[in-house]
Amino acid sequence: MDFSLNDYIRYSNTRNYFPKNIFPFVSINKNKYKDLENIQKNNQNSVSNAFIELQKRVGENYFQKVYPSQSSALNFSQRSFPPYKFLLPEVLADDWLSIVDWHNKHCRDHALHQPLTAYIVHKLLGGGISSKSLKIGDSNLLDLSVINILKWGKTSYIKEYLLDIGVNPKSNLLENTPIGREFWKNIFYETTLIAAVFHDIGYPWQYINRLNNNLNSADFSSNNSIVNAEHIYNCFKNRLVLYPFNGYKSLNRNVPCNWKNELLELISASLSKTHGFPGALGFLYLNDFIREYPSKKELPFHQFSIDWASVGIMMHDFINIYHGLNNDSPPDNLHMRLEFDKDPLSCIVALADVLEEFERPNVILHKHQQSSNFKYNSCCISSEIDINNGVLNIIYKFKNLKLAAEKRVYMKNDEFKYFHPDFGYLDFSSIGIRKVNMSAII
């Protein structure tokens, strides 16, 4: 199965590219939504102005890739994440800043990357149709995801959460029946797609946190980080987004007496060292802010989808929290490993994020005496995956040997951190994938 920009364009032009079975997820309080609109108007930070400013900076070629993709995502967000339009100007601004940033050679765009990651999820899951989903042995990725969920083994935390928010314990949607499986195919596919479309919205927040961490002389963060963590803990301690911090379990009365302090330190680190956690919190907070509550229209599965998507947004970027300081020893936070039979949604979003290397621009500066010109050059042409005898091969295709060689320099470290059989962040062994190889070719 291969992935490329041209293939994305072909898929995204189809009538049913974005699903509509479960939407809308949120019953909106119109007054609260209007409050957010007024804030954006007062800041003079409209979506249309953001596109104009981005076009000035990146030129027509790259802009014509971003504009239709983000316009489509914006339309999708009206039913899946209505406040996205208030974030999009900052996402576009941060997108450009990341492309020209010198802190990290491999900091690149998110505005095009997010829709392309969602396209990869769409293709991996066959657009919600089992026969079109990625084949793994005699089964496929979509069915394997649903089967693992409905076993209620390692995924029992999902059932526990559903019951806690009001789903009838006798509901046939919780049973491994034809009706139950079809329902979970729809909700799993749509929620995974939502997580993929919005998985990088946390970058602007991470920038603020990173800035605070670099201003040690002003002591911006050292006194406030645990205070912020405590506030987040108090606000979200009953929500699904904090379950992975506790080994995919709710906090109960049996936790060690010192566990809360360790949990607060982990939350604090996640705020400053990831963009996934700030993104998940922003996604939840903005949805909560505009939500009509209490509401007679609210359905538990709709709210569950929002909470579930937030877990995928968070966990796609927890590889460094998981490993900690040392890559060559057991990870510091082994309980946060992404195992397919425990969290198939986050596994698929994280895999799609790894696969989406193509069309990510690196800026090339041409310096003149009085000015500098920027050229936005994408190195990778396409990505491909192949599964054979339990081995998943990830293949990146580049424009020339030099670019492929540059990718290989850091690719082996990525292969270890993501896919080492014992210590890798992503574990697909439960569905028969025992090894993952990454390669870069022309």
Q: Is 126 inside any structural domain?
A: yes
Predicted confidence at residue 148, as pLDDT, reads: 96
Query: In sequence order, which residues have a C-beta less than 8 Å from that of residue 328 and are 6 or more positions away?
Result: none
Domain coverage including residue 345:
2-357
Q: Is 46 inside any structural domain?
A: yes
Predicted confidence at residue 298, as pLDDT, reads: 66
pTM for the complete prediction?
Answer: 0.91
Predicted confidence at residue 61, as pLDDT, reads: 83
**Contact by Cβ (8 Å): 15, 369:** no
Predicted confidence at residue 206, as pLDDT, reads: 59
Q: Is 254 inside any structural domain?
A: yes
Q: Packing angle between helix 5-12 and helix 47-80, nearest 10 degrees?
A: 60
Predicted confidence at residue 202, as pLDDT, reads: 83
Q: The tokens of 384 are what?
A: 């491909």
Q: Is 365 inside any structural domain?
A: no
Predicted confidence at residue 283, as pLDDT, reads: 92
Q: Is 309 inside any structural domain?
A: yes
* C-alpha to C-alpha distances, 163 to 39, 173, 224, 341, nearest whole angstrom: 37, 12, 35, 20
Quickly list H helices, 274-367: 276-290, 300-315, 319-323, 344-355
Predicted confidence at residue 23, as pLDDT, reads: 60
Task: State which H helix or E strand residue 132 sits in.
Answer: none
The domain total for the chain is 1
Q: Is 423 inside any structural domain?
A: no
Q: Is 397 inside any structural domain?
A: no
Cα dihedral 280, 281, 282, 286 sign:
positive
Residues in the chain: 442
Query: In a structure prediction context, what are the per-residue pLDDT tens digits for the chain, which is 442 residues long?
Result: 999 999 999 888 776 678 766 665 677 888 998 888 888 777 777 888 889 988 888 878 888 888 998 888 888 888 888 889 888 888 888 778 777 766 655 555 677 889 999 999 999 999 999 999 999 999 999 999 999 999 999 999 999 999 999 999 999 999 999 999 999 999 999 999 999 999 988 876 655 555 444 444 334 344 456 678 999 999 999 999 999 999 999 887 778 888 899 999 999 999 888 989 999 999 999 999 888 887 776 678 988 999 999 999 999 999 999 999 766 678 999 999 999 999 999 999 999 999 999 987 777 666 776 766 777 777 899 999 999 999 999 999 999 999 899 899 889 899 999 999 999 999 999 999 999 999 999 9
- DSSP assignment of 25-69: ---B-HHHHHHHHHHHHHTT--HHHHHHHHHHHHHHHHHHHHHHH
Q: Is 428 inside any structural domain?
A: no
